[in-house]
């Protein structure tokens, strides 16, 4: 079978290197790049750089590309919307696409209760608004989050984000009334089973914050940036019950897990969970900037008129793209495809774990899979250096990957779910070779 | 002219030099006289090739006054100087500190007796010994870059007892017979052959080739006295070598008992964004040649600098190499001021920052006008552009000239041009240079439907 990866130059090639010079002069150092090839175009799961190299993309714009790069239906819908109008601002002159997308998300998300949806621009903005809504609806201030969480880079969401370097260092002081629970990280023995979890919650509410002061708990059911750590079902059950008992709203951050990535439309479905509020972004609009908060109608309606909104929030072109992207994901059964991809990757990752002693853990949910790289299986000491080398080697051989994890020692897969079996297999071969040689 | 007329003619020029203002009639006469004098007494060849004459047939541009990053011609037109005599104006034109130092010294003592010790020579040597990397410590002063290379050649032979050298293709080291022998371009060499024997040329940046030549010379004869390279090739178009080049040739020279000469005449004193070009790779050469900017843009000054161990061979008989004007107090005053200004104004840091911006923007222009500009490169404010061919290159440099921006490039040699503004050039002048570039490129792009790339490489 013909290979998909075609490298005409060493990567980054000369034109990418030239653009890097311009980038260094024009763009702040603080923005990093995992793989500095400059993109010229992308289709499906393949990315062509400015030197004409074709690479397989296992990063998918950090999970925005579930429906594939430049999905033709998304492009068509967005182009048609763009021809009609670029923007009016929903707070000034509303339009149907916003309403239609809200209706769609109300129906699509778990929970057989009346729901409402507001639209925003980014994952961080969705989480910001989720906190605002939860505080207003409960009249409480405290927000409970988790170790290893990533919720964004704006001040409130950065306060909620866990990893200090590079995300938080030097950017404080952070917002008050944010409390942090350990995440049930099984590989590193931070999950104490159901009984231990009950005790931990008791201790938390005794020593950290009174439950009646907590507006919401915000959780990623599968940590994204934190390293694709899957929360155990019993833990989530207990968490949901504790929230219910104490009038705390449960906010699920489905920014990275949503829209099919985990093998279901939303990760909540694996847990039979019906959250009070859900934040969505990334693959929602097929690559256009758009995010959403969907939640219980009474909670969503609590805020005064004018209390919520945003100039660009729910832009009509992005709404049209989202309607097309969600339809594409449903019509092409991408959640099922993600589950199938996940089984293929899981099998290969299990082989990697057998072959390479430095693969400490192979885990994930659906197509959201990860390898945790360690120096020693006994001590589980994270090996960020080797992880970086693997990503570098893979990239030099034509596979785009991104790392993850608080210790920077996790390799994660976020390939577009339209990837073919051949492309998937070729990408995994490259990854295996990179593991063997890094 | 008889004696009386000669006295009158010279007095007329002395009056012009001292004049505060010149009348329109005087200006017109100076312009006409200058063209005539070049034609009949200097070299009419310049009139055929310089764009300052070719582009302004009726009113040729005559250099008259300057300050900082700009100068004026006799007709009052202002130019942004991005050529700077190929790098002499790192501190800008007429930097007040340099001018003051030289003027003050001029009023005291202009040249040296060659018998008494002179303090400024010692002071400049001390400062250079301190700012140069590693164990480089002792200096000798002369007047041109080529003199520095000549001295380095003699010192390398004297210390190693070996004869031969390795240099680079397209490398530039000067046009006197010794340094010309090391210069890697046939145009300048061919009429003057034979030059020094035993010079081996390699591709610039090819460490394998240097190692190979050292090995072969070692196996077949006395070996190589020295390897001479520019840290970044200047005349060749600001060519930056691979990062392992300098560390590897340093190691190879040590292995074979050959010296490493860094020709920093153009790259030295901040031009490339570090104080010295070799600082980009943390390499310490055995001999460093300096020139151009070391005179502060006011005086001709050059130097070769080496280590106490190597200098020992000059100490037994210090007159084995000497120079009448080398290290004169005016030049040394300029050199001391140049070092002061370079450090005080962080000219190297300014070059790094401004150069990164300028390079990025030039790459952007190359991407937009890629049939005109073939390559953009360099580091700091030693930048080079290679055009598709000489003809289109000349159109660009003359278009820039008409827009008041001076870069190198003549009718016969405009395929590769350098941009070397003052290191303290104000940011807004850089923007003006870029605007002029963009404007010129657009004009040449629209007016030149067919551009054939030269097939010369």
Assess whether pLDDT exceeds 90 at residue B48: no
Assess whether pLDDT exceeds 80 at residue B454: no
pLDDT tens per residue, range A226-264 = 999 999 999 999 999 999 999 999 999 999 999 999 999
pLDDT tens per residue, range A198-215 = 999 999 999 999 999 999
- pLDDT of B115 reads 86
CB A413 within 8 A of CB A366: no
User: Comparing A109 with B26, which gets the higher pLDDT?
Assistant: A109
Q: Which of A19, A23, A25 sits opposite B357 (nearest CB)?
A: A25
Residue B200: how many other CB atoms lie within 10 Å? 17
- pLDDT of B101 reads 98
* Residues 6 or more apart in contact with residue B347 via CB below 8 angstroms: B90, B91, B269, B270, B341, B423, B424
pLDDT tens per residue, range B151-174 = 999 999 999 999 999 999 999 999
Residue of A nearest to B366 (CA): A18
Segment B248-275 shows an average pLDDT of 98
The helix-helix angle for A96-108 and A316-331 (nearest 10°) equals 40
Q: Which helix (H) or strand (E) holds B28?
A: helix B24-37
Mutation for A interface: B242, B362, B363, most A CBs within 10 A: B363
- pLDDT of B448 reads 87
DSSP β-ladder status, A142-146 and A214-219: parallel
pLDDT tens per residue, range B355-398 = 999 999 999 999 999 999 999 999 999 999 999 999 999 999 99
- Closest Cα to residue B439, out of B404, B387, B389, B391? B404
Residue of B nearest to A22 (CA): B360
From chain B, the residues in CB contact with A10 under 8 A are: none
> Are residues A21 and B366, on separate chains, in Cβ contact within 8 Å?
no
The CATH number of domain B10-93+347-447 is 3.30.70.60: no
> Are residues B360 and A22, on separate chains, in Cβ contact within 8 Å?
yes
**Full set of structural domains in chain A with CATH:** 14-63+333-437 (3.90.1150.10), 72-331 (3.40.640.10)
- B155 to chain A nearest CA, in Å? 40
From chain A, the residues in CB contact with B364 under 8 A are: 22
Range(s) within chain B of domains with CATH label 3.40.640.10: 96-344
Assess whether pLDDT exceeds 60 at residue A24: yes
User: Comparing B450 with B446, which gets the higher pLDDT?
Assistant: B446
- What are the residues of chain A with a beta carbon less than 8 Å away from any beta carbon of chain B? 15, 18-19, 21-26
DSSP β-ladder status, B259-263 and B224-229: parallel
Phi-psi region of B161 (alpha: psi -120 to 50; beta: other; left: phi over 0): left
ipTM of the complex as predicted: 0.72
Degrees (nearest 5) of the Cα angle A130, A134, A136? 120
CB B231 within 8 A of CB B250: no
Over chain B, what is the mean pLDDT? 94
Segment A30-34 shows an average pLDDT of 90
- pLDDT of B255 reads 97
- pLDDT of B457 reads 46
CA B296, CA B99: separation in Å to the nearest integer?
9
pLDDT tens per residue, range A270-312 = 999 999 999 999 999 999 999 999 999 999 999 999 999 999 9
CA dihedral A299→A303→A304→A309, nearest 10 degrees, is -120
CA B411, CA B52: separation in Å to the nearest integer?
11
- pLDDT of B59 reads 76
Measured over the CA atoms of residue B367, residue B369, residue B373 and residue B376, the dihedral's sign is negative
- B357 to chain A nearest CA, in Å? 5
- pLDDT of B411 reads 62
Contact with chain A for residue B363, Cβ under 8 A? yes
Spell A235-261 as b/e; 16+ CB within 10 A means b.
bbebbbebbeebebbbbbbbbbbbbbb
pLDDT band at B324 (very low <50, low <70, confident <90, very high): very high
Contact with chain A for residue B353, Cβ under 8 A? no
Say what the pTM is. 0.83
Mean pLDDT is lowest, of B25-34, B89-98, B281-290, B327-336, for B25-34
- pLDDT of B55 reads 72
- pLDDT of A2 reads 77
Range(s) within chain B of domains with CATH label 3.90.1150.10: 10-93+347-447
Domain formed by B96-344, architecture: 3-Layer(aba) Sandwich (3.40)
pLDDT band at A1 (very low <50, low <70, confident <90, very high): low
- Closest Cα to residue A391, out of A37, A153, A38? A37
* Residues 6 or more apart in contact with residue A83 via CB below 8 angstroms: none
Assess whether pLDDT exceeds 60 at residue B455: no
Over chain A, what is the mean pLDDT? 96
Q: What proportion of chain B, given as a percentage, has pLDDT over 70?
A: 98
- pLDDT of B57 reads 67
């Amino acid at each position: 079978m013909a290979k998909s990866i075609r490298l005409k130059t060493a990567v980054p090639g000369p034109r990418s290197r030239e653009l890097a010079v311009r980038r260094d002069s024009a763009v702040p150092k603080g923005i990093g790049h995992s793989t500095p090839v400059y993109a010229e175009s992308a289709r499906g799961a393949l990315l062509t750089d400015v030197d004409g190299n074709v690479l397989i993309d296992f990063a998918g714009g950090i999970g925005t590309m579930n429906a594939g790069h430049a999905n033709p239906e998304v492009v068509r819908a967005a182009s048609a919307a763009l021809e009609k109008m670029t923007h009016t601002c929903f707070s000034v002159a509303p339009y149907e696409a916003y309403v239609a997308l809200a209706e769609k998300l109300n129906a699509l998300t778990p929970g057989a209760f009346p729901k409402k949806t507001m639209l925003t621009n980014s994952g961080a903005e969705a989480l910001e608004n989720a906190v605002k809504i939860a505080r207003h609806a409960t009249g409480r201030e405290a927000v409970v989050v988790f170790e290893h969480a990533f919720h964004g880079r704006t001040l409130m969401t950065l306060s909620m984000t866990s990893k200090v370097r590079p995300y938080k260092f030097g950017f404080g002081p952070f917002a008050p009334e944010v409390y942090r629970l350990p995440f049930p990280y099984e590989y590193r023995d931070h999950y104490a089973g159901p009984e231990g979890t009950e005790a931990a919650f008791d201790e938390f509410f005794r020593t950290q914050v009174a439950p009646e002061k907590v507006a919401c708990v915000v959780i990623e059911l599968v940590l994204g940036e934190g390293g694709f750590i899957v929360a155990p079902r019993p833990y989530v059950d207990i968490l949901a019950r504790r929230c219910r008992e104490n009038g705390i709203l449960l906010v699920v951050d489905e920014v990275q897990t949503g829209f099919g990535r985990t093998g279901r439309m939303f990760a909540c479905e694996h847990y039979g969970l019906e959250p009070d509020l859900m934040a969505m972004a990334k693959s929602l609009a097929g690559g256009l900037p758009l995010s959403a908060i969907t939640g219980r109608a009474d909670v969503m309606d609590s805020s005064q008129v004018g209390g919520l909104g945003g100039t660009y929030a729910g832009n009509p072109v992005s709404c049209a793209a989202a309607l097309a992207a969600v339809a594409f994901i449903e019509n092409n059964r991408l959640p099922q495809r993600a589950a199938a991809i996940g089984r293929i990757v899981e099998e290969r990752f299990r082989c990697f774990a057998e072959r390479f002693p430095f693969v400490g853990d192979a885990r994930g949910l659906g197509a959201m899979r990860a390898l945790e790289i360690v120096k020693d299986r006994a001590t589980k000491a994270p090996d960020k250096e080797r992880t970086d080398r693997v990503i570098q080697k893979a990239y030099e051989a034509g596979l785009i990957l991104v790392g993850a994890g608080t210790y920077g020692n996790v390799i994660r897969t976020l390939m577009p779910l339209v990837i073919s079996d051949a492309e998937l297999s070729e990408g995994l071969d490259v990854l295996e070779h990179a593991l063997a040689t890094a | 002219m008889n004696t009386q007329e000669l006295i009158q003619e010279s007095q007329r020029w002395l009056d012009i030099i001292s004049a505060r203002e010149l009348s329109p009639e005087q200006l017109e006469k100076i312009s006409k006289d200058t063209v005539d004098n070049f034609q009949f007494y200097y070299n009419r060849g310049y009139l055929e090739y310089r764009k300052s004459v070719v582009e302004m047939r009726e009113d040729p541009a005559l250099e008259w006054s300057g300050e900082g990053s700009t100068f004026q011609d006799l007709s009052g037109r202002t130019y942004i100087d991005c050529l700077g005599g190929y790098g002499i104006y790192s501190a800008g034109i007429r930097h007040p500190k340099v001018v003051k130092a030289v003027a003050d010294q001029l009023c005291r003592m202009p040249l040296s007796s060659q018998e008494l010790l002179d303090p400024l020579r010692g002071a400049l040597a001390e400062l250079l010994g301190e700012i140069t990397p590693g164990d480089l410590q002792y200096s000798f002063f002369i007047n041109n870059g080529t003199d520095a290379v000549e001295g380095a050649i003699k010192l390398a032979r004297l210390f190693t007892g070996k004869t031969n050298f390795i240099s680079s293709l397209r490398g530039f080291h000067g046009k006197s017979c010794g340094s010309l022998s090391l210069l890697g371009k046939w145009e300048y060499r061919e009429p003057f052959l034979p030059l020094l024997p035993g010079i081996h040329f390699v591709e610039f940046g090819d460490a394998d080739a240097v190692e190979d030549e050292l090995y072969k010379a070692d196996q077949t004869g006395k070996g190589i006295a020295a390897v001479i390279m520019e840290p970044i090739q200047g005349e060749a178009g600001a060519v930056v070598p691979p990062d392992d080049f300098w560390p590897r040739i340093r190691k190879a020279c040590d292995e074979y008992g050959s010296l490493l000469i860094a020709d920093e005449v153009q790259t030295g004193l901040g031009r490339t964004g570090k104080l010295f070009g070799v600082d980009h790779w943390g390499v310490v050469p055995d001999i460093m040649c300096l020139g151009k900017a070391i005179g502060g843009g006011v005086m001709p000054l050059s130097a070769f600098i080496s280590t106490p161990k190597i200098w020992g061979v000059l100490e037994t008989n210090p007159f084995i190499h000497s120079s009448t004007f080398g290290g004169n107090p005016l030049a040394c005053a300029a050199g001391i001021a140049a070092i002061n200004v370079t450090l005080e104004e962080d000219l190297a840091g300014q070059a790094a920052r401004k150069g990164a911006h300028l390079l990025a923007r030039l790459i952007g222009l190359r991407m937009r006008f890629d049939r005109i500009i073939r390559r953009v490169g360099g580091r700091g404010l030693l930048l080079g552009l290679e055009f598709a061919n000489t003809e289109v290159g000349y159109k660009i440099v003359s278009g820039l000239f008409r827009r008041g921006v001076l870069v190198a490039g003549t009718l016969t040699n405009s395929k590769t041009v350098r941009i070397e503004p003052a290191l303290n050039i104000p940011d807004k002048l850089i923007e003006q240079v870029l605007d002029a570039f963009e404007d010129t490129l657009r004009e040449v792009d629209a007016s030149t439907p067919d551009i054939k790339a030269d097939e010369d490489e």
